[in-house]
Amino acid sequence: MAQNPDAIFIGSGHNSLACACHLAARGWKVAIFEQNAEPGGAVKTGEYTLPGYRHDWGAMNLSLFAGSQFHQLHAAELARHGLAFAPTANPFASVFPDGRWLGISSDVALTTARIRGFSEADAEAWTGLTESFPSDAESILGVLGSPMNTRALGAVMGKTMWKRGTSGALDLARFLMTSPRAWLDQTFQDDRVKATFAAWGMHLDFAPDIAGGAVFPYLEAMAGQAFGMVLGQGGARTITDAMIGMIEARGGTVTCNAKVTNIEQAGGRAIGVVLADGSVVRAEKAVIANVSPSGLLKLTGGTGDARHERAMQTFQHAPGTVMIHLAMDQLPEWPAAELKRFAYVHMAPSMDQMARTYAQAKAGLLPDEPVIVCGQPTVVDPSRAPASKHVLWLQVRMAPGQIRGDAAGGITARNWQDAAEPFADRALDILERYAPGTRDRILGKHVVTPDMFEADNPNLVGGDQVCGSHHLHQHFINRPALGYADGTTPIRNLYHTGAAVWPGGGTGAGPGTLLARKLVGN
C-alpha cells in the first residue's frame, strides 16, 4: 500500500508549487491535485492564436519571482530543471495622446534625462528617490516579505526604528497607507510623469485615489530602473515546469484532471481530500488549499469559526481583466521607434482617466476608455514567435465581472459571450490611436474574458487576476482574515495559500513560501 503524502495540495498555482518544492526539499512527501488538464493556474503559456506563437495566459512579468525568497533558496535546483529567464533593461514606458512618451530603463542617466524632458523639478525628485531607494526598499520589502504576526512585525519595525529612528518608522507606516495620487502629487509636478507611475497601481487594484496603493507604483518604478524586468525564456510557464520538475525529482506528484470536491475532516482536523471520482487521499501532516476564500468554504462546508466564515463569505474581489493575445506580423508603429524596445507600453494617459475607468468597472460598466497594458515579450524573447514575427500581450484594465451597462453607450450586450468582440475592438481602437496600422499587422487573435478566466481557474472570481482586492481592509494582517494571515485556518492541519493570503498577488510566491517555512521552521 502506497504511503500517504505528508502534504496534499489543492490546486497547482505557483504558490502551491513553491510551497511543495520547499517542503519536498525538507523531506516532506507532497501530492498536488489540479482540476485542469494543465498545471500552473494563471502562470502558463500556450499557442492560443497560431502555431508557433507562444502567449502567456495571465502573468508575464516574472521579476517578483526572480527576486523572491523562494528563488534565492532554490535557484540552482530550479535551473537544473530548466528554469530560464529573459531579462530586459527596458521594462516599461507610457505613451501619451500627443505622441510624447516616457520610458524607464536601467540606465539611470537616460531615465533621468527622459524625465527632465518633462520637468526639471521632477528629474531632481527622481534623483532623490534613486539615491534613497536602497535603504527605503530594504524597509518596505522587510514589511512586504515578513510573516504577518506580532513577533515578525515587531522585529521588522524594531530594525526600521534602529536604522531610521521613530520618525522614519512613522514615515514608512504613513507611506504604506498613502494613495498613489497623494504620493505622486507630493513628489512630482508633471501630470504625464505621474501617470507613467500611477499605471502600475492599476495592475494590482489600486486606482489613483485608493489608500495603500502608493507603494506599488513606487516599487515598480524604482525596481524597474534598478533591476530592469525579467520574463520567462520561452514563456512564463518556465517557472511552472521547473518547479514541477523539482517536485517530481524529489518524489512528489502533480496530478491533473483531478478535481477535489471535499476536504475530509475528523475531530476538528483535516485528514485528506475527496476527488471527483470518489477516491479519498489521506494526508499525514497538512492539507493545503490554494483556493479563493469562497472556495475554501465550499470544500469544507464551513470552518467552524463564525468570524472566519464571515470573512471568507464577504471577501471582496477586484474588477476583472480582459486579455487579448495577438500574433503579429510586425510590432506596432509607435510614435517613437525606441518604444519597440520596451517589455510593457502603458496606454493610461492620466490619473483622472484611470480613476474614471476603475469607478466604471466597479459599477459594472464596460469602461469607455480602459487602461491598456501592451506587453511586447518577443522584444525580450524572440523564441516566442517564428523568425521576424511577434506576439502582443494586451491586458485590458479594468473590466466588470458582471456587465450592467456600457459607459460609452455603444455595447448593448450584458454577457461576456456577446460583449467580448465589441469590447476587444474598443481596446484595439485605443491601441490603433497610439500606433496607427497595428490592426493590419494582426495575424491571429484570441480574447479571454473575465468569465473565461474564472471558468479556467475558479480562484479568479469575476476575472480578478489577483484573487482579491488588496485594499487596506483586506491586506496586511487582514488578508484573508484577521488572525489568519499566516495561512492557518480554524481547522487544524488545514492551511490556506495563494494570492488571497498575505502577502497577496503577483508572481513572487510569497504566500506559498511563507507557509512552507512556517510548516518546517526554516
Q: What is the 3-state secondary structure (H, E, C) of 134-201?
A: HHHHHHHHHHHCCCCCHHHHHHHHHHHHHHHHHHHHHHHHHHHCCCHHHHHHHHCCCHHHHHHHHHHH
The backbone torsions φ and ψ at residue 280, rounded to the nearest 5 degrees and listed phi first, read -115, 135
99 assigned to some structural domain: no
Selection from 92, 60, 12, 55 nearest residue 448 by Cα: 55
**Pair (117, 215) in one structural domain:** yes
pLDDT at 1: 34
**Pair (128, 175) in one structural domain:** yes
**Pair (434, 347) in one structural domain:** yes
Mean predicted lDDT score pLDDT of the chain: 96
71-95: average pLDDT: 98
Q: Beta partners for 323?
A: 395, 448
**Pair (444, 499) in one structural domain:** no
Lookup: cell for 336? 517613437
Q: Beta partners for 30?
A: 7
Lookup: cell for 48? 492560443
Measured distance CA(462)–CA(319) in Å, rounded: 7
Total domains in the fold of the chain = 3
Selection from 55, 344, 408 nearest residue 202 by Cα: 344
Selection from 453, 313, 428, 299 nearest residue 374 by Cα: 428
User: Within 10 A of 47 (CB to CB), how many other CB atoms are there?
Assistant: 16
The 10s digit of each residue's pLDDT in 355-369 is: 999 999 999 999 999
pLDDT at 162: 80
Residues 6 or more apart whose CB falls under 8 angstroms from that of 182 comprise: 214
User: Within 10 A of 482 (CB to CB), how many other CB atoms are there?
Assistant: 14
CATH number of the domain within which 330 lies: 3.90.660
Would strands 405-406 and 365-366 be described as parallel, antiparallel, or unpaired?
parallel
> By mean pLDDT, which of 57-61, 140-144, 224-228 is the weakest?
140-144
354 assigned to some structural domain: yes
Residue 154 confidence (pLDDT) above 90: no
**Pair (324, 446) in one structural domain:** yes
The 10s digit of each residue's pLDDT in 161-186 is: 787 788 877 888 899 999 999 999 99
Give, in order, the Cα–Cα distances in Å from 356 to each of 167, 193, 470: 35, 19, 19
**Pair (442, 418) in one structural domain:** yes
pLDDT at 465: 95
300-323: average pLDDT: 97
**Pair (78, 114) in one structural domain:** no
Element (H, E) at 444: strand 442-448
Domain boundary (197, 226, 255) is at 226
98 assigned to some structural domain: no
Domain boundary (456, 475, 498) is at 456
197 assigned to some structural domain: no
The 10s digit of each residue's pLDDT in 330-346 is: 999 999 999 999 999 99
pLDDT at 172: 87
CATH number of the domain within which 31 lies: 3.50.50.60
484 assigned to some structural domain: yes
**Pair (52, 117) in one structural domain:** no
Q: pTM to 2 decimals?
A: 0.96
| Cβ burial, residue 17 (10 Å; 0-12/13-18/19+) | buried
The backbone torsions φ and ψ at residue 231, rounded to the nearest 5 degrees and listed phi first, read -105, 170
pLDDT at 2: 63
**Pair (183, 248) in one structural domain:** no
The 10s digit of each residue's pLDDT in 100-111 is: 999 999 999 999
pLDDT at 160: 76
Q: Are 322 and 448 a contacting pair, CB within 8 Å? A: yes
Q: Are 314 and 200 a contacting pair, CB within 8 Å? A: no
**Pair (434, 325) in one structural domain:** yes
203 assigned to some structural domain: no
Could you give the maximum distance between any two Cα atoms of the chain, in Å? Answer: 72
**Pair (354, 405) in one structural domain:** yes
185 assigned to some structural domain: yes
**Pair (311, 380) in one structural domain:** no
pLDDT at 263: 98
Cell 505528508 sits at which residue?
6
Exposure pattern of 185-195 as b/e (b: 16+ CB <10 Å)? eebbebbbbbb
Domain boundary (408, 430, 456) is at 456
101 assigned to some structural domain: no
Q: Rg of the Cα trace of the chain?
A: 22
Domain membership of residue 438 as a residue range: 316-456
The alpha carbon torsion through 469, 376, 44, 64 (nearest 10 deg) reads -50
